[in-house]
Chain A
Amino acid sequence: MTTPSLDELVRDAHARNDYSQLIDLIPYARLLGIECLRLGDDMVLRLPANRDTIGNPMLPAIHGGVIAGFMEQAALLHLLMFMGSPHFPKIIDFSIDYLRAGHYRDTYAQCQVWRQGRRVANVAITAWQTNQTEPIATARAHFKVDEA
């Protein structure tokens, strides 16, 4: 079941270049404090530094699960906003490679939809902190995108 308001929210968010209402719908995205930055045709998601997301107290570093959850949410929002599928896609599988420690600072993520069929979408996600060319993690996910 999709509420008609989701479609409206997506259109409204694009029109006003403000995605906070859409993100506020999703409690887990609110918990992590995710923000959406639109740069021309590109969309970048931001995970602000937050003590509550720390997993390794010694470095300190962000919990790997939070980085993964942030990247999964980035992919979900990306599909929701760009692929004309105004309902919540369902996760099929998710695979993440951790390349560097996620330090206690802001983290960014960007998505690339490699393939969207009628039923399944394949999305690659990259997360970085200081420099996009030095990712802290790369991930890819499959989502079920049909309405059924």
Chain B
Amino acid sequence: MSDSPLHQRAQRFLSALRHCQVLGMQVQHAGPAGLTLRLPYSQQIIGNPDTGVIHGGAITTLMDTTCGISTICVLEDFEICPTLDLRIDYMHPAEPHKDVFGFAECYRVTPHVIFTRGYAYQDDPEQPIAHVVGAFMRMGKVAPVQRPRESKA
């Protein structure tokens, strides 16, 4: 799975984002149904020094990146898609010393906007630490012809 073209595209995309490299983020899985990234636990992203819990900002960065790159799962060619908005609801705090995974999928694609949703989790995707929705603007290509999606990857 890890050498699928979609996985490689996700990896190329992620490796171009310097801040994500600083955080050590990796592509866990990329498929037609969505994208999963991994954010390794590290001392530098602690937000609460009393508990060692990761800062919400690092989770937001993980989820903004996951939602943003998940657009490649539904677009035939690379397009620049800046974030319009993002909302995160925290179900419970992340446990210290554990990596965080972010999953995102595109649930609606229009000629100008892509609607994404996802969640962040540690051990169990059924027990997410946060739910996320985000809208992304399509800038790269001018109103490309919408073709039915083919699941090639």
* B positions within 8 Å CB-CB of A: 16-20, 22, 43-50, 54-58, 60-65, 68, 80, 82-90, 93
Contacts and interface: CB of A to CB of B under 8 A. Distances in A.
> Would you call the interface of chain B mostly helix, strand, loop, or mixed?
mixed
B125 to A, nearest CB: 20
Given A65-B62, A92-B90, A54 B19 contact: yes
A97 B84 contact: yes
A55 B19 contact: yes
A28 interface: yes
Nearest to A95: B87
Contacts of B90: 90-94
Top 5 closest A-B pairs, CB basis? Answer: A69-B57, A65-B61, A28-B55, A95-B87, A65-B64
Interface string A81-121: 00000001011111111100100000000000000000000
B127 to A, nearest CB: 18
Interface of A: 1-3, 25-32, 51-58, 62-66, 68-70, 72-73, 76, 88, 90-98, 101
A66 B57 contact: yes
A73 B48 CA distance: 11
A72 B130 CA distance: 15
Contact of B61 (A25, A66, A73): A66
Contact of A94 (B47, B56, B68): B56
A5 to B, nearest CB: 11
